[in-house]
Structure 1
Amino acid sequence: MTFRWKPLAIVAAGLVVLGTAAVFLDPVLRPPGPRPAFQLPVACGQTWQLNTYPGHDDYDIDLYPTEGEPWGQPVLASFAGTVVEAGVSGRLGSRTPDNPKGRPGRGGGYWVKIDHGGRWETLYLHLLEAPEVEQGQRVERGQRLGRVGSTGDSSAPHLHYEQVRGGDKVESHFDGVPSGITRDDKEYSVKRVSANC
């Protein structure tokens, strides 16, 4: 009697491939979990203006303080998670507090992306300098990530912020309340007070 190994090897290899695919696809195919209790990514008690404008992209928020100089304001994690990106997106440009009319860059400039679990992420763009956190680092809500700047494709110092669910941008909620920034069909703004304490 002759035993044939080739068909068994093919079946075994197929099972290995399927098992590996399941490990990688399961987190992607699983539905997102409940929304984390996100807070404004700025200091507790401060009032900030949340803006958008035509062509900005739905749900993208630009944050500006209502009082004080925006340059250098602390940018805080809006919820606990793990840093998955921290560095430069695009080209920085040359806009600084000493040279506010400098050459603009491209993309998000200095930025941070945090995975909060349950397929929820947040993005923080146009930071003044290199992020104060690094890829793989665990951060807590309210932990400082960097400072407000104008790196990348930015015309003035501000924080560009996004909440992402399952790979898609969604309306940001802060302290359990919708931000009010949804569509980019017109320029508008709302004011919110931070409870990121």
Structure 2
Amino acid sequence: MTTGRPTRHRGRRRARSRATRIVLAVGAVAAVLALAVVVVPLLLPPGPRPLFQLPVACGETWQLGTYPGHDDYDVDLFPTEGESWGRPVLASYGGTVTEAGINGSLGGRTPENPDGPRGRGGGYWVKIDHGGRWETQYLHLLEPPVVRVGQWVAQGEQIGRLGSTGNSGAPHLHYEQRRGWEKVETWFDGSPSGITHDDAEYTVRRTSNNCRTAPTR
């Protein structure tokens, strides 16, 4: 004599098994799509170079330089007139902030104690993603950046103030432009800076055309 219950149990098990397979399949598809969203943009070639501007106030003339051991393409910026400490640091081009905090350690160099102990790395810093796999970095800021991660900033918008945090000997702005994962020669207002290697000390003067207009995205 049978009651039919085993058949119902087998049916429930098959239904649960099908549901499990569907859930796993959907999860696998979602994982592949999520990976594609991250990986595919990294495999695409970089877009055209944005029209980067000097990361300082419109009309000001600054000295751009490098020295042996500084690392290829790295640029240090110093004002040619006036006080260095606390000068506004501006976004070279519009983009999304991806880093805004401390790189390494701060050290103790301040306007009140300019010969204090050095820190490590870049101190207070900001990194901006400009799209097309182009980025800029701004290091040794005086204090915490005035922008936050995820914030969109316009070209010419202030992101911090010039200082000497991190591994810095004097107040200045360490600046980089990156294409993909690689640093490249910095260009400003459509012209190359001429700083491509650190084999010898090299300086050049440039006047900023970072004259902020209505923000666009």
TM range (shorter): over 0.9
Distance in 2, Cα, partners of 1:59 & 1:69: 26
Distance in 1, Cα, partners of 2:179 & 2:168: 25
Matched, 1:100 2:105: no
Residue 20 of structure 1 deviates from its aligned partner by 3.0
Aligned position for 1:69: 83
Residue 19 of structure 1 deviates from its aligned partner by 3.0
Task: Note the alpha carbon deviations across 1:12-57, whole angstroms, 9 max, x for none.
Answer: 7655543332221011111111111100000111110001011111
Q: Specify the code of the residue in structure 1 equivalent to 2:112.
A: D
SS at match of 1:24: helix
Match of 2:154 among 119, 127, 140: 140
Could you tell me which runs of 5 or more consecutive residues in structure 2 were left unpaired when the two chains were aligned.
1-13, 212-217
Matched, 1:120 2:134: yes
Q: What is the 5 A alignment of 1:43-58?
A: 43-58=57-72
Could you tell me which runs of 5 or more consecutive residues in structure 1 were left unpaired when the two chains were aligned.
none
Q: Higher helix fraction: Structure 1 or Structure 2?
A: 2
Aligned position for 2:182: 168
SS at match of 2:116: coil
Calculate the TM-score normalised by the size of structure 1.
0.93
CA-based RMSD: 1.9
Distance in 2, Cα, partners of 1:23 & 1:124: 27
Q: Higher strand fraction: Structure 1 or Structure 2?
A: 1
The list of structure 1 runs, each at least 4 consecutive aligned residues, that deviate by more than 2 angstroms after superposition, is 8-21
Instruction: Count residues with an aligned counterpart.
Output: 196
Worse overlay, 21-30 or 185-194: 21-30
Aligned position for 1:111: 125
Distance in 2, Cα, partners of 1:110 & 1:15: 40
Calculate the TM-score normalised by the size of structure 2.
0.84
Task: Note the alpha carbon deviations across 1:57-101, whole angstroms, 9 max, x for none.
Answer: 110000000111111111000100111110111100000011000
For the pair shown, which has the larger CA radius of gyration, 1 or 2? Answer: 2
Q: Specify the code of the residue in structure 1 equivalent to 2:113.
A: N
Task: Note the alpha carbon deviations across 1:97-128, whole angstroms, 9 max, x for none.
Answer: 11000000001000000011111110000000
Identity of aligned residues (%): 66
